[in-house]
Structure formats: structure tokens, C-alpha cells
Amino acid sequence: MSESEYDYVIVGAGSAGCTLAARLTEDPGIRVLLLEAGGKDRSPNIKIPAAFGKQFHTKLDWGFSTVPQPGCAGRELYSPRGRSLGGSSSMNAMLYVRGRPIDYDLWESEGAAGWGWQDVEPYFRRAEDHAAGADEIHGAGGPLRTAKVRSPHDLTNQFYAAAEAAGIPYNRDYNGPEQDGVSPAQVTQHGGKRWSAADAYLKPNIKRPNLTVRTHATVLGLELDGDRVTGVKISGRRGKSETVRADRDVVLCAGAYGSPQLMMLSGIGPAGHLSDVGVDVRHDLPGVGQNLHDHPFCVCIWDAHDGPSLLDAEKPRAMLEWVLRRSGPLTSPVAEAFGFVKTRPGLPAADVQFHMAPAYYVDHGASVYEGHACTIGPVLVTPKSRGQLTLRSSDPSDHPLIDPNALGEPEDVESMLAGMELAREIAHSGPYAQSLGKELFPGPDVTDRQMLEDDLRQRVELIYHPVGTCRIGPADAGGVVDPDLRVHGLEGLRVVDASVMPVVPGGNTNAPTIMVAEKAADHILGKVPTAA
């Protein structure tokens, strides 16, 4: 067994880990080790935007599933997570959504002092390199390239008019002062290729002498000396056990599943549960693994007659266009437009987000339809349901038990049903009345509210945004980390990833995760956080 020393050991080279490693090593006097269980990000399915779904159920995917969900007809729901440099930013649909000011002000009201909108907004700007340049909303010159969809389909352009005919206004930029309305999607792409956190933050800095990156390094647990975390135990590619020390902090950036699992495997978490699975309790912290939630979605799909749609992306011509011009259907993130809507009066913000795709997107893209199709998928952006993540056993190779309690609250079901009804209305409005044909899902036989609810529970899935399992907040209120992201009651351990979010933001979570890491770097380095 060998032993090495660094100032900071970062576990997980995903969105947060790549960002944090780059920012910390801007100081040449700080030594950082970045550990990634997966390999490098060389697969063409990572680089080609429309191919993201081809990574599912491969070596690039952790391949998680939930326990059976009572609110979802007892089904287990698939939950992919990226397993390569860039983590889930190398696997996701590249959709850039900051969320709403109300989301972060809610974080602050729930105990995340200093994480309100005025505190976090500058870090979104610092991260961003907007293709159109800086303005009153967007930043330029940051590592993270953002742009509009490069080659949108006609069905996408028709979506705006159809939605407006159904009473939903057009919104030029959902990342602006007002989120509600239908808008073109913004994506983390550069020149028609995916621009992951590894592309943005890690690769430009990987030759820094104070940054060491190790792939195929699986962290088995944390090393503790009393109340101080001193390092991590890892298993390398050949299964050789090794302990790596951190002089200052170990920083968990392993995501909403990986970070709480590693803590619990190391004896940090709810004492009763740890004892039940045979883990020696080192630090009783009941909030670890609690507050798990994700965004449920349920696709509504229509035949699109003659298209064009992403069915054309399978043709050799599409690959040739992408190789030669970095344009065409292979540059699509699949979801090319959004619609943020309030499904009932009195809501402070949208409760449903439509993902519109000029494609047949069923079973996470695994199912095939021989014709052109159009998907309008309502996503519940403000779920009330909360679940938990617990250990299956004390074996680090066992996946944890993931229970988001999806659709566990009646209000969540009502919002989703209203979203499905509104999707049907959009599909029969404006230009869609002519360009869309037979309803494939839920289907013409689903004619009343009870049938629609049955269909929802049979088909609802999760849209890859798990958060909350190491939330910021007071320990006596279920919090795991303080506002500086230090784990309560321990020294030398922080968590920096989506698990610290008290409430899931209103929209896709990659941009907020990068923001968390940008801001965390200033907290760790003792800098005065960037002012609004």
C-alpha cells in the first residue's frame, strides 16, 4: 500500500469536480488530485451531440435504477449517470438552464445563507462564454461555451407558433428576467460539438504541474483520524488498494448518488441505518442521503407525417455533414425547445417545463419508430415529493438503494396531468394542426382524466436531475453541509455537487452544478465571494 499527499483530493471528475480542480489550481501553490472512476472521454458518442442516448447502458454509464416506485405503478426507474471525464456533462443533453431567482432565494430561506440569487448570479456569468457575447444577462470569456441550437428543425420552429396559439407566449431567453413562455434551447456546445465540463475546465489546464488527474480510480471510502477526514482509499485499474492523503480537504464531487454513498460507507450518516447494514458508525449525521428528489417527465408523442425529424440523423448524409461542417441533425441536443408554464393560477413560478424534440423519444431513446415523430414532454420542475438514498450493503461495489418517491404527492400528479393535457392542446394548435398526425402516446384511447393518470403512472420516468442528498442547512434541520460546504461535525471534508442543493432548481441542473463549484472554489480559497 502506497501513500501520497496533496492539499486537496477531489473525488469525481464530473461537472463540479472539473470546475473545482481548474479553479483551485489557478493558485500554483495548491496541489490537487482529481480522481475519476471512469475513463477518458474519447468516445464519438460523447462528442456528437445527438448521440448522447447511445451512452446509456454502456461502460460510460453508472446505470443506476431506483427501487420500485409505488407512485409509478411499482416500476423501477432508470437513472443514468456519466462515468468518464466530464461525468454527466459528457452524457447529458447539453441543455443550459440557470433556473429562477426564486429557486436560490428559497435555498437561502431554508438555511443556505449566502446562496440567494444575488449571491449566485455572478458565478453563472463567470462560468459562461456566450456565443453571442456578453449582455445584461449572459457572460463572455468564461470557460463554459453556450450557444443556441445550431441546426433547429422545422418542427421546432413550428412549436413556438403552436404554443402561442394555445396561449403560451414566446420568450426570447428563458435565462433572462422572466422564465415563463416557449423559447429556443441554449446548449453547452462549441462548433457543433459537445462542450462538457472536461472540455471547458479540465483540458485547458491539465498540464498544470500542480494538477494530477487519475482515471479508473474507484474510491472505496474515506480515511478518518478522529473527527478529521485525512484522505481516501482507492482501488486502481488493477485492483491495487491505495491510500491518498489530503493535507487540507477531501472534496466529494461524486454527485447526488455517489457522495452520500461514500460518506455512509465510511461511517458518516444516519447511525441506525449504518448499523443495520454492518457499517461502523464514525459520525452520526441523520441528513445524509435524505431529501432526494428529481424531475419526473412523461412524453407525449405524435406522428409527424413527412418530417423532417431526427430520424434523418441516422442517415450517412447526416454524419458527413457533421464531420465536414459540424452542422445538421447530429448537432441537435434532441430537445431543441422549452416551454415553462404555470398550470394553474396562484403559482409563484412555472411548475411544468416542456421539452420539445423533433424525434421519437421513448424508453430513453432506446425504442424505435419507423416514421417521423414529434415529442412534447412535460417535466415537473417543482416536485413536492421527497425520498432518500440508503446503502444496499457495506460493499462499495453495490449500487445504493435509490428512492426518490416519484409522484408521491398528489400535487405532483396534478401538475403532470395538467402538463399532458396542455401538450395535447399544443399539438392541435397553430401549424401543428396540419403537420402532426396520429397521437402515439398517450394514444387516442386515453380519453378521460383517470385513464390519463393511469397512463402517467405507467410511463413516467426521471429526467436525470437527482439532487439534495447532502443539502446545505443546519444539521438539526436535516442539513449535511454548512454554507461553506463543510460537512457538519467533521474537519477536512466538503461536498461540492448537486447533492448540496436544498431544492432542485427550475430546469436542467448542469449549469447550477457548475455554478455551485465556481462559488465553492471561492469559499475554499477564502476569497470574498464575487459580488453581484
One of 138, 465, 488, 523 is an active-site residue; which one? Answer: 465
CB neighbourhood size of 460 (10 A): 24
Determine whether 273 is an active site residue.
Answer: no
Say which residues have a Cβ less than 8 Å from residue 219's Cβ, sequence separation at least 6: 11, 35, 37, 232, 233, 234, 254, 262
Gyration radius (Cα) of the chain, Å: 22
Task: For helices 117-127 and 510-525, give the axis angle rounded to 10 degrees.
Answer: 100
Kindly report the backbone phi and psi dihedral angles of residue 85, in degrees, each rounded to the nearest multiple of 5, phi listed first: -55, 130
The tally of CA atoms less than 13 A away on the side-chain side of residue 21 is 38
CA dihedral for 376, 382, 385, 388, sign (positive or negative): positive
Amino acid at 287: G
CA atoms within 13 A on the CB side of 237: 6
- CA atoms within 13 Å, Cβ hemisphere of 66: 28
208 C-beta neighbours (distance < 10 Å), count:
15
What Å distances lie between residue 36 and 41, 213, 487, CA to CA?
Answer: 11, 8, 22
For cell 443546519, name the residue.
Answer: 474
- Give the span between the Cα atoms of 28 and 16, in whole angstroms: 20
Angle of helix 101-109 versus helix 117-127 axis, rounded to 10: 130
Q: Cβ distance 197 to 15 under 8 Å?
A: yes
What is the C-alpha to C-alpha distance for residues 444 and 151, in angstroms, rounded to an integer? Answer: 32
Catalytic residues: 465
